[in-house]
C-alpha cells in the first residue's frame, strides 16, 4: 500500500484465473453523489485533472474514486494487452467494489468512451440508476473507428497486419504511442456512436476548439447522438486536448459543482 497526500493506494484483483490484473485504486470516502474519474489512453490517476478533482472532492466532502487501467500507472498488466473491453471490465469492477449510491462519471478522452460503455453495461444489469450524471472532457468514444481508421497510412496498416501493432509519435511522451490490432478489433465491438446513445442521466461535454487529437467536430457528433434533454456542451475556444490549465480546471469544477447541486435538488 502506498500513500499520496491522505489517500492510500489499494489494489483490486480483476479478471479470470490466468488473466488476473492488480488494479490500483485511490478511493476517498465522502458524501453522495460520489465522483468517479476515468482517465485517458496512457494517462494515470495522478494527473493534473484527476488530482484537482480529488482535492476538490475532499474540500467539499464528496466521495471520489479513481484507478489506473491495467498497463497504466501503478496497476499491473502489460499496456500492449489493453483493449476497451479489458479496461471496461476493470472500471466496472472498481465501480462495484469501491462506490455506493449515486455517482457522477467524469471521463477524459478515452475515459469518456469507457464511461459511456459503463452506463450501457450498468443499464443492461438494471443498475443504471447508479449513474446520476456524466461529465465528458475532450471525449474520444470510438476513436479507433472514427478518428484513426480513416486516416491510417498503408505503412500503418502493414504494421498492424504484420506486427500486430503500430507506433506513432506522442506529443506527451518521449515514448511513441502504441496501438494494437487487438485494440482496433475490440473497438469495433464496443462502438457507441453508431446510433442514439441513451445515458439516463444529465451529460455535460467540455471540449477545446484547438484540440488536435480529438477535433471538436467529434464532440459535436457525439452531442447529436445524445438525447436532447439534460445534455449540454461547453466549448473552450483556445482549449487543447489536455484542458489542464488553471482556467480549464476551474471550468471543470464549476461544471461539476452545478451538476452536484442539480443532483441533490
Question: pLDDT 10s digit of each residue in the chain, 265 long?
Answer: 333 457 999 999 999 999 999 999 999 999 999 999 999 999 999 999 999 999 999 999 999 999 999 999 999 999 999 999 999 999 999 999 999 999 999 999 999 999 999 999 999 999 999 999 999 999 999 999 999 999 999 999 999 999 999 998 877 777 888 999 999 999 999 999 999 999 999 999 999 999 999 999 999 999 999 987 799 999 999 999 999 999 999 999 999 999 999 999 8
Instruction: Tell me how far apart the alpha carbons of residues 241 and 253 are, in angstroms, rounded to a whole number.
Output: 17
Residues 6 or more apart whose CB falls under 8 angstroms from that of 119 comprise: 105, 128, 131, 134, 199, 200, 201
How is residue 6 written as a grid cell? 491522505
Burial class (CB in 10 A: 0-12, 13-18, 19+), 117: buried
pLDDT of residue 221: 98
Contacts of 169 (CB under 8 A, 6+ apart): 176, 177
CA–CA–CA angle 211, 112, 171 (5° rounding): 35
The Cα–Cα gap between 250 and 42 comes to 24
- 10-15 own/partner pairs: CB under 8 Å, 24+ apart: 11/75, 12/67, 12/93, 12/94, 12/97, 12/98, 14/70, 14/89, 14/90, 14/93, 14/94, 15/89, 15/90
- Does 3.40.50.1820 match the CATH number of domain 2-264? yes
Supply the pLDDT for residue 173. 76
Amino acid at each position: 500500500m502506498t500513500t499520496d497526500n491522505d489517500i492510500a493506494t489499494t489494489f483490486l484483483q480483476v479478471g479470470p484465473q490466468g488473466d488476473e490484473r492488480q488494479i490500483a485504486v485511490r478511493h476517498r470516502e465522502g458524501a453522495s453523489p460520489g465522483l468517479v474519474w476515468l482517465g485517458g489512453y496512457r494517462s494515470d490517476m495522478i494527473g493534473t485533472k484527476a488530482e484537482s478533482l480529488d482535492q476538490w472532492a475532499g474540500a467539499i466532502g464528496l466521495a471520489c474514486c479513481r484507478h489506473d487501467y491495467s498497463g497504466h500507472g501503478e496497476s499491473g498488466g502489460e499496456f500492449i494487452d489493453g483493449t476497451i473491453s479489458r479496461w471496461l471490465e476493470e472500471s466496472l469492477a472498481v465501480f462495484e467494489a469501491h462506490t455506493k449510491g449515486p455517482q457522477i462519471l467524469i471521463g477524459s478522452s478515452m475515459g469518456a468512451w469507457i464511461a459511456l460503455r459503463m452506463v450501457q453495461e450498468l443499464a443492461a444489469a438494471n443498475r443504471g440508476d447508479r449513474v446520476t450524471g456524466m461529465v465528458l472532457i475532450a471525449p474520444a468514444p470510438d476513436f479507433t473507428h472514427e478518428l484513426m481508421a480513416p486516416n491510417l497510412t498503408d505503412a500503418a496498416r502493414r504494421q498492424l497486419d504484420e506486427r500486430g501493432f503500430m507506433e506513432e509519435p506522442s506529443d506527451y511522451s518521449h515514448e511513441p504511442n502504441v496501438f494494437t490490432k487487438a485494440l482496433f478489433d475490440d473497438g469495433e465491438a464496443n462502438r457507441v456512436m453508431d446510433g442514439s446513445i441513451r445515458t439516463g442521466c444529465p451529460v455535460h461535454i467540455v471540449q477545446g476548439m484547438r484540440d488536435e487529437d480529438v477535433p471538436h467536430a467529434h464532440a459535436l457528433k457525439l452531442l447529436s447522438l445524445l438525447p436532447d434533454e439534460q445534455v449540454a456542451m461547453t466549448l473552450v475556444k483556445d482549449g487543447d486536448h489536455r484542458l489542464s490549465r488553471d482556467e480549464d480546471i476551474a471550468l471543470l469544477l464549476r461544471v461539476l459543482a452545478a451538476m452536484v447541486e442539480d443532483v441533490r435538488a
